[in-house]
Structure 1
């Protein structure tokens, strides 16, 4: 195991306390691969974390800390799988919120943990941030009107040029060079609104963000970016739509003029197969499900959500709060493990997006 001081210190939020977040955090803590590469610190209510420890039957104990510097003062090793340092966030109100149900108190707790973790990461106290899933509806019920983590993080970091990437590491795709990332030109919006939101500059910007991450974050000298068409068969010579010729082709041209190895627009149903087989390192999808469905079919529980464009490292598991499985002791922890490992790799490279 590497010297503890050389491993990045990562903030791990518990997500919505009513969902599977606390359980998957505890399950990830028991995996030795996590502690080989980073020093994790949990952010959330310690009692919620203790409940998750009891639920999973873990032998770990929760150590309450009042600051990151307390870790050194108490001699705690955050890479100890039997100790979970927890930086408390939020009020005791959340302890009365019901498990596995939407509740504003849970939404508020999740919000406060993300805000604190982000601010501490921006200040350099953490080398990266890994978030457990929150409920968008609970977030709204608490009065925080964001479509999700991505938009909240972008506002906290003060950036306008950002994107969500779903990423599968190379361990899941042996034919890939550095795993496969899928970036979304549009994200949390209705399907009918997608064509009106697309423009060449937007799509070219997502190509640029994908190129930066695969190049500087995962070490590829020449990332290859495949760009999805919007319509079936890439429009079939405008029989099924003209967005390919009017919007997407010009965007690809802009990306190529900037030195990015972008190709497209290509039919989405075959592009993702080609990317899986190693022909592309990243894909730019035009809308949420165009990218999500294909990647999650490849490896639902091991996909990682990476926010592009932030001045900090941020990853998360690619699944949601799963209220239907929450607090039953059966949550799948591999997605959280993958998210922590990806954050540790990016933090180790001291990767940051710069404007």
Structure 2
């Protein structure tokens, strides 16, 4: 147990299923297989999570991580910022969004101080965080700003051992081609490489094509000929990375998922990889904060406002997030 990494486990948005997920893994005694957890959030929200699922575990509040003793039970760094009477089930409110930001800020500072080695978080609510003053696009940009990250960073979607990284994300499909450049492709490839390395592997990276049949040598679109193939060749020549492509997207994921040929797939727009991963194993998908200096992961689903308070939310994705963050923390130690 003493060799396992110390990870923060953030309760997530108080109005969502995060507290229930954190509590379920505690009741099932899952954490000890991967890490030494420090639960971060309001103690009353953790207690409410236990109440919802009808479970109980030994736990105790702490004010500093020097008080952690995992033989006693689960330490809870109590932020004392969520009055249960002000927290509705299944609603996006500023009060809970502020707690999301407080949890992240606390975990970031603990990482910087060397008191935790990374963290996982229950689902946050982006809209509530923006109500509470988050003025950037997502938690990934928020993390990068707080950690001072300037190199490529962003959301990595992962199912089992396969990672996907996107060149473009939340833009209309009609704008994908104009945003597909050597620079944006290089950034995505680099993010895939450094995230693979954060798991302690030299990743095998494949780049997806944009057009049907990989563009048919320019007869069905020029992006493969003009941008994708030349950039792949340049990056390989410059870095020696295990990088190939472009490959037709309609067969690439068969090779990646069924035959295990690749560790990372670089996709060109949001749904190109999301559909494949979620169709094959939605509950097994997680999100990794790629490019950050510390391991950060979460489940791929959101706050599940339609399920909160019922105890019916499944824990598969959240457990895999804990496993991934722990693996990254151990790889970082070795590196």
TM-score with structure 2 length normalisation?
0.92
**What secondary structure does 2:157 align onto?**
strand
Q: Which of 16, 35, 58 is the aligned partner of 1:19?
A: 16
Q: Which of 248, 252, 255 is the aligned partner of 1:271?
A: 252
Q: Are residues 109 and 190 of structure 1, via their aligned partners in 2, closer, same or farther at CA, if it must alter by over 3 Å?
A: farther
Deviates more, 1:158-167 or 1:6-15: 158-167
Aligned match of 1:235: 215
Q: Are residues 193 and 31 of structure 1, via their aligned partners in 2, closer, same or farther at CA, if it must alter by over 3 Å?
A: farther
Cα distance, 1:33 vs structure 2: 4.1
Q: Quote the RMSD (CA, aligned, Å).
A: 2.1
Per-residue CA deviations over 1:123-142 (Å, capped at 9, x if unaligned) read 21101111111111111222
1:1-355 superposed matches below 5 A: 4-71=1-68, 76-77=69-70, 83-89=73-79, 91-92=81-82, 95-160=85-150, 161-169=152-160, 179-214=161-196, 216-221=197-202, 223-257=203-237, 258-276=239-257, 277-350=259-332
Per-residue CA deviations over 1:217-263 (Å, capped at 9, x if unaligned) read 33434x32110122333233444432222322232123212111211
Q: Are residues 190 and 36 of structure 1, via their aligned partners in 2, closer, same or farther at CA, if it must alter by over 3 Å?
A: same
Give, in whole Å, the separation in 2 of the partners of 1:352 and 1:22: 32
- Give yes or no for contact 2:16–2:305 (8 Å, CA) kept in 1: yes
**What secondary structure does 1:311 align onto?**
coil
**What secondary structure does 1:349 align onto?**
helix
Q: Are residues 24 and 192 of structure 1, via their aligned partners in 2, closer, same or farther at CA, if it must alter by over 3 Å?
A: farther
Q: Are residues 110 and 191 of structure 1, via their aligned partners in 2, closer, same or farther at CA, if it must alter by over 3 Å?
A: farther
Cα distance, 1:11 vs structure 2: 0.4
Give, in whole Å, the separation in 2 of the partners of 1:336 and 1:47: 21
Give, in whole Å, the separation in 2 of the partners of 1:25 and 1:187: 29
Cα distance, 1:95 vs structure 2: 4.4
Give, in whole Å, the separation in 2 of the partners of 1:88 and 1:198: 45
- Give yes or no for contact 2:44–2:84 (8 Å, CA) kept in 1: no
**What secondary structure does 2:332 align onto?**
coil
Give, in whole Å, the separation in 2 of the partners of 1:271 and 1:31: 37
TM-score with structure 1 length normalisation?
0.87
Structure 1 unaligned spans of 5+: 170-178
Cα distance, 1:90 vs structure 2: 5.8
**What secondary structure does 1:5 align onto?**
coil
